């Protein structure tokens, strides 16, 4: 009888560990040096940024921002949650992070605002969670399809401003990860579909960004 009870307890503990550490849990790192984006190989880094160092530095800056938001790392996630995250960083206004995720029939939008800017360290001052309808989810997915999101280049030449805002949209679906970064995509309507998709997430949040993003 004691052996049976021990076996039952052992089975329970094993299953509990799987629940807590399994693939369907988005892990928030504890090390601020954690990279949130995969590095390019040397050839692609040179083509995209001019050097491997620039590739590393850019992704370190953006990773620090996401760490300050206490966000999970997505690029190495292999579970069944479908996730899209928009990170909006500007030189003279508070950064924003909007994470839309679907697990089974549950769809949520997590909205965060950080009081740091210009890549200075800050803390989360707004942290909200909102239910999203299936219709809203499908509308967002239609925008992704319209701009051929999964085929877009990760980065592109910016407008050449020193104070350009950075818009980063990450996606995880079916164990596939992709990220797209554009500087000031709404400037001269250069990337209309990308801009529309990110702004749709802003509208879903219900946050008045004119009030919340204090300079």
Could you tell me the residue ranges of all domains in the chain?
71-212
- Please enumerate, as own/partner, the contacts of 103-111 that have beta carbons within 8 Å and a separation of 24 or more: 103/24, 107/131, 107/132, 107/133, 107/134, 107/136, 107/137, 108/132, 109/201, 109/204, 109/205, 111/205, 111/207
pLDDT of residue 165: 85
Note the residue count of the chain. Answer: 215
- Average pLDDT per consecutive 10 residues, the chain (215 residues; last block may be shorter): 39 34 75 95 89 92 94 94 95 90 96 83 93 98 97 78 80 95 86 95 89 53
Q: What is the pTM of this model?
A: 0.84
- H or E element in which residue 11 lies: helix 2-21
As assigned by CATH, the class of the 71-212 domain is alpha beta
pLDDT at 159: 57
pLDDT value of residue 16: 33
């Amino acid at each position: 009888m004691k052996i049976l009870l021990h076996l039952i307890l052992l089975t329970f503990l094993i299953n509990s560990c799987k629940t807590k550490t399994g693939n369907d849990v988005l892990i928030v790192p504890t090390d601020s040096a954690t990279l949130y984006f995969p590095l390019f190989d040397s050839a692609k880094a040179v083509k995209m940024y001019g050097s491997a160092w620039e590739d590393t530095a850019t992704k370190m800056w953006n990773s620090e921002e996401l760490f300050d938001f206490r966000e999970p790392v997505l690029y190495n996630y292999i579970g069944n949650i479908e996730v899209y995250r928009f990170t909006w960083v500007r030189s003279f206004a508070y950064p924003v992070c909007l994470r839309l995720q679907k697990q089974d029939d549950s769809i949520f939008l997590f909205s965060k605002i950080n009081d740091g800017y210009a890549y200075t360290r800050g803390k989360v001052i707004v942290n909200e969670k909102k239910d999203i309808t299936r219709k809203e989810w499908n509308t967002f997915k239609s925008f992704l399809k319209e701009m051929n999101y999964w085929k877009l280049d990760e980065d592109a030449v910016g407008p050449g401003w020193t104070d350009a805002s950075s818009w980063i949209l990450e996606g995880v679906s079916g164990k596939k990860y992709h990220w797209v970064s554009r500087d000031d995509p709404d400037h001269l309507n250069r990337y209309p579909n990308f801009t529309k998709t990110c702004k749709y997430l802003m509208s879903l949040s219900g946050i008045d960004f004119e009030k919340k993003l204090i300079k």
